[in-house]
Protein backbone atom coordinates (compact mmCIF):
# COMPACT_ATOMS: atom_id res chain seq x y z
CA UNK A 1 0.00 0.00 0.00
CA UNK A 2 1.39 3.36 -1.04
CA UNK A 3 1.17 6.65 0.84
CA UNK A 4 2.49 9.04 -1.77
CA UNK A 5 1.34 12.23 -3.46
CA UNK A 6 3.04 13.71 -6.56
CA UNK A 7 2.93 17.26 -5.23
CA UNK A 8 6.48 18.14 -6.26
CA UNK A 9 8.67 17.46 -9.23
CA UNK A 10 8.90 18.68 -12.78
CA UNK A 11 6.08 18.28 -15.25
CA UNK A 12 6.83 15.62 -17.84
CA UNK A 13 4.97 14.04 -20.73
CA UNK A 14 5.00 10.26 -20.44
CA UNK A 15 3.66 7.17 -22.15
CA UNK A 16 1.19 6.27 -19.42
CA UNK A 17 -1.47 3.83 -20.59
CA UNK A 18 -0.34 0.86 -22.68
CA UNK A 19 -2.35 -0.31 -25.73
CA UNK A 20 -3.69 -3.41 -23.97
CA UNK A 21 -5.17 -1.36 -21.13
CA UNK A 22 -6.69 1.15 -23.53
CA UNK A 23 -8.33 -1.56 -25.63
CA UNK A 24 -9.61 -3.20 -22.43
CA UNK A 25 -11.10 0.09 -21.20
CA UNK A 26 -13.09 0.83 -24.33
CA UNK A 27 -14.06 -2.80 -24.98
CA UNK A 28 -15.39 -3.08 -21.42
CA UNK A 29 -17.38 0.14 -21.85
CA UNK A 30 -18.99 -1.19 -25.05
CA UNK A 31 -19.76 -4.61 -23.56
CA UNK A 32 -21.22 -3.22 -20.32
CA UNK A 33 -23.41 -0.73 -22.18
CA UNK A 34 -24.58 -3.42 -24.62
CA UNK A 35 -25.32 -5.95 -21.86
CA UNK A 36 -27.26 -3.34 -19.86
CA UNK A 37 -29.34 -2.19 -22.86
CA UNK A 38 -30.11 -5.78 -23.86
CA UNK A 39 -30.98 -6.71 -20.28
CA UNK A 40 -33.34 -3.76 -19.87
CA UNK A 41 -34.81 -3.37 -23.36
CA UNK A 42 -33.71 -6.39 -25.37
CA UNK A 43 -35.68 -9.40 -26.64
CA UNK A 44 -37.20 -11.94 -24.28
CA UNK A 45 -34.59 -14.55 -25.14
CA UNK A 46 -31.39 -12.82 -24.03
CA UNK A 47 -28.79 -14.83 -25.92
CA UNK A 48 -26.85 -11.69 -26.89
CA UNK A 49 -27.03 -10.45 -23.30
CA UNK A 50 -25.33 -13.66 -22.19
CA UNK A 51 -22.65 -13.33 -24.88
CA UNK A 52 -21.78 -9.83 -23.76
CA UNK A 53 -21.71 -11.11 -20.17
CA UNK A 54 -19.18 -13.77 -21.16
CA UNK A 55 -17.12 -11.10 -22.91
CA UNK A 56 -17.17 -8.94 -19.76
CA UNK A 57 -15.93 -11.87 -17.65
CA UNK A 58 -13.14 -12.50 -20.16
CA UNK A 59 -12.12 -8.84 -20.08
CA UNK A 60 -12.18 -8.80 -16.27
CA UNK A 61 -9.99 -11.91 -16.16
CA UNK A 62 -7.50 -10.10 -18.39
CA UNK A 63 -7.62 -7.01 -16.16
CA UNK A 64 -6.90 -9.02 -13.03
CA UNK A 65 -3.95 -10.69 -14.75
CA UNK A 66 -2.73 -7.36 -16.16
CA UNK A 67 -3.04 -5.84 -12.73
CA UNK A 68 -0.39 -8.29 -11.56
CA UNK A 69 2.01 -8.70 -14.49
CA UNK A 70 1.11 -5.78 -16.77
CA UNK A 71 2.69 -2.43 -17.47
CA UNK A 72 3.70 -0.15 -14.60
CA UNK A 73 0.62 2.12 -14.13
CA UNK A 74 -1.83 -0.76 -14.67
CA UNK A 75 -0.57 -2.84 -11.75
CA UNK A 76 -2.77 -2.84 -8.68
CA UNK A 77 0.12 -2.07 -6.34
CA UNK A 78 0.65 1.20 -8.20
CA UNK A 79 -2.79 2.58 -7.31
CA UNK A 80 -3.38 1.06 -3.90
CA UNK A 81 -3.00 4.04 -1.58
CA UNK A 82 -2.78 4.56 2.14
CA UNK A 83 -5.14 6.79 4.15
CA UNK A 84 -2.67 9.68 4.12
CA UNK A 85 -2.68 9.87 0.34
CA UNK A 86 -6.48 9.97 0.24
CA UNK A 87 -6.63 12.70 2.88
CA UNK A 88 -4.04 14.89 1.15
CA UNK A 89 -5.71 14.41 -2.22
CA UNK A 90 -9.19 15.25 -0.92
CA UNK A 91 -7.87 18.31 0.90
CA UNK A 92 -6.71 19.79 -2.41
CA UNK A 93 -9.37 18.53 -4.77
CA UNK A 94 -11.20 21.89 -4.81
CA UNK A 95 -8.17 23.71 -6.22
CA UNK A 96 -8.71 24.86 -9.79
CA UNK A 97 -5.56 23.28 -11.15
CA UNK A 98 -4.75 19.90 -12.73
CA UNK A 99 -3.55 17.14 -10.43
CA UNK A 100 -1.09 15.72 -13.01
CA UNK A 101 -1.30 12.41 -11.22
CA UNK A 102 0.96 9.70 -12.73
CA UNK A 103 -1.69 7.04 -13.14
CA UNK A 104 -4.97 6.54 -11.33
CA UNK A 105 -5.45 9.26 -8.73
CA UNK A 106 -6.93 8.11 -5.38
CA UNK A 107 -10.55 8.75 -6.39
CA UNK A 108 -9.95 7.14 -9.77
CA UNK A 109 -8.39 4.13 -8.05
CA UNK A 110 -11.41 3.76 -5.79
CA UNK A 111 -13.66 3.97 -8.86
CA UNK A 112 -11.65 1.24 -10.60
CA UNK A 113 -11.88 -1.14 -7.65
CA UNK A 114 -15.61 -0.56 -7.12
CA UNK A 115 -16.49 -0.94 -10.80
CA UNK A 116 -14.34 -4.02 -11.33
CA UNK A 117 -15.74 -5.63 -8.19
CA UNK A 118 -19.36 -4.86 -9.06
CA UNK A 119 -18.97 -6.05 -12.66
CA UNK A 120 -17.22 -9.24 -11.57
CA UNK A 121 -20.01 -10.01 -9.10
CA UNK A 122 -22.63 -9.22 -11.74
CA UNK A 123 -20.97 -11.46 -14.31
CA UNK A 124 -20.44 -14.38 -11.95
CA UNK A 125 -23.98 -14.31 -10.56
CA UNK A 126 -25.28 -14.19 -14.13
CA UNK A 127 -23.84 -17.67 -14.66
CA UNK A 128 -26.18 -19.01 -11.96
CA UNK A 129 -29.37 -17.04 -12.60
CA UNK A 130 -32.70 -18.80 -12.99
CA UNK A 131 -35.41 -16.15 -13.51
CA UNK A 132 -39.13 -16.73 -13.39
CA UNK A 133 -39.38 -17.11 -17.17
CA UNK A 134 -37.41 -20.41 -17.03
CA UNK A 135 -35.84 -19.46 -20.37
CA UNK A 136 -32.84 -17.26 -19.62
CA UNK A 137 -31.18 -19.68 -17.22
CA UNK A 138 -27.48 -19.31 -16.51
CA UNK A 139 -25.22 -22.11 -17.78
CA UNK A 140 -24.11 -23.15 -14.27
CA UNK A 141 -27.49 -22.93 -12.54
CA UNK A 142 -28.33 -26.62 -12.88
CA UNK A 143 -25.33 -27.79 -10.89
CA UNK A 144 -25.33 -25.06 -8.24
CA UNK A 145 -25.73 -25.84 -4.52
CA UNK A 146 -29.20 -25.51 -3.02
CA UNK A 147 -30.09 -21.93 -2.17
CA UNK A 148 -27.33 -20.41 -4.29
CA UNK A 149 -29.43 -19.91 -7.45
CA UNK A 150 -32.12 -17.70 -5.80
CA UNK A 151 -29.41 -15.66 -4.09
CA UNK A 152 -27.42 -15.26 -7.33
CA UNK A 153 -30.58 -14.28 -9.20
CA UNK A 154 -31.46 -11.63 -6.60
CA UNK A 155 -27.95 -10.17 -6.66
CA UNK A 156 -27.88 -10.17 -10.46
CA UNK A 157 -31.19 -8.31 -10.61
CA UNK A 158 -30.20 -5.84 -7.87
CA UNK A 159 -26.76 -4.78 -9.10
CA UNK A 160 -27.57 -3.04 -12.45
CA UNK A 161 -28.73 0.29 -10.93
CA UNK A 162 -25.70 0.26 -8.62
CA UNK A 163 -23.39 -0.31 -11.57
CA UNK A 164 -25.19 2.43 -13.50
CA UNK A 165 -24.66 4.80 -10.56
CA UNK A 166 -20.93 3.94 -10.44
CA UNK A 167 -20.63 4.59 -14.18
CA UNK A 168 -22.42 7.94 -13.86
CA UNK A 169 -20.14 8.93 -10.96
CA UNK A 170 -17.14 7.97 -13.10
CA UNK A 171 -18.37 10.14 -15.97
CA UNK A 172 -19.23 12.95 -13.55
CA UNK A 173 -15.69 12.87 -12.14
CA UNK A 174 -14.24 13.14 -15.66
CA UNK A 175 -16.49 16.14 -16.32
CA UNK A 176 -15.50 17.72 -12.99
CA UNK A 177 -11.80 17.41 -13.77
CA UNK A 178 -12.34 18.90 -17.22
CA UNK A 179 -14.55 21.85 -16.21
CA UNK A 180 -13.19 22.67 -12.75
CA UNK A 181 -9.60 21.52 -12.69
CA UNK A 182 -8.81 22.07 -16.37
CA UNK A 183 -7.58 18.50 -16.82
CA UNK A 184 -8.92 16.47 -19.74
CA UNK A 185 -8.51 12.81 -18.81
CA UNK A 186 -10.07 11.31 -21.94
CA UNK A 187 -7.30 11.83 -24.55
CA UNK A 188 -4.74 9.91 -22.50
CA UNK A 189 -7.01 6.86 -22.65
CA UNK A 190 -7.06 7.21 -26.45
CA UNK A 191 -3.39 7.78 -27.28
CA UNK A 192 -1.82 6.77 -23.97
CA UNK A 193 0.21 9.94 -23.32
CA UNK A 194 -0.26 12.27 -20.33
CA UNK A 195 1.47 15.20 -18.64
CA UNK A 196 2.24 14.14 -15.07
CA UNK A 197 4.22 15.16 -12.04
CA UNK A 198 6.10 12.70 -9.86
CA UNK A 199 8.30 9.65 -10.20
CA UNK A 200 7.87 7.50 -13.30
CA UNK A 201 10.12 4.89 -14.95
CA UNK A 202 12.74 6.61 -17.10
CA UNK A 203 11.79 4.64 -20.21
CA UNK A 204 8.27 6.11 -20.05
CA UNK A 205 9.39 9.74 -20.25
CA UNK A 206 8.86 11.50 -23.58
CA UNK A 207 9.86 15.07 -22.75
CA UNK A 208 9.86 17.77 -20.08
CA UNK A 209 7.01 20.26 -20.06
CA UNK A 210 7.21 23.91 -19.05
CA UNK A 211 5.34 24.91 -15.94
CA UNK A 212 2.25 27.07 -16.70
CA UNK A 213 2.51 30.73 -15.81
CA UNK A 214 1.03 31.52 -12.35
What are the pLDDT digits (tens) for 87-143?
Answer: 999 999 999 999 999 999 999 999 999 999 999 999 999 999 988 766 889 999 988
pLDDT at 212 over 90: no
Per-residue model confidence (pLDDT) at position 75: 96
Contact of 102 with 197, CB cutoff 8 Å: yes
**Helix or strand holding residue 196 (H, E):** strand 193-197
Query: pLDDT tens, 16-68?
Result: 999 999 999 999 999 999 999 998 898 888 899 999 999 999 999 999 999 99
Would you tell me how many other CB atoms lie within 10 Å of the CB of residue 72? 17
Of 29-33, 67-71, 75-79, 209-213, least confident by mean pLDDT is 209-213
Residue 1: band (very low, low, confident or very high) from pLDDT cuts 50, 70, 90: low
Give domain limits for the chain: 11-118+154-208
pLDDT at 2 over 80: no
3 state DSSP class of 177: helix
Measuring CA to CA, how many Å separate 50 from each of 38, 87, 97, 136, 180? 9, 41, 43, 9, 39
Amino acid sequence: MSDRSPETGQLIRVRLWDPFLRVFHWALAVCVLSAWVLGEFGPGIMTLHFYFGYAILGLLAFRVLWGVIGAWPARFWHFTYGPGTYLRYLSGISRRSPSHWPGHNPLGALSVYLLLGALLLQGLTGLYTDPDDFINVGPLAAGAPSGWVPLATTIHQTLPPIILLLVLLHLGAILFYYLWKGENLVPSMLHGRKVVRGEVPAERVIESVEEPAP
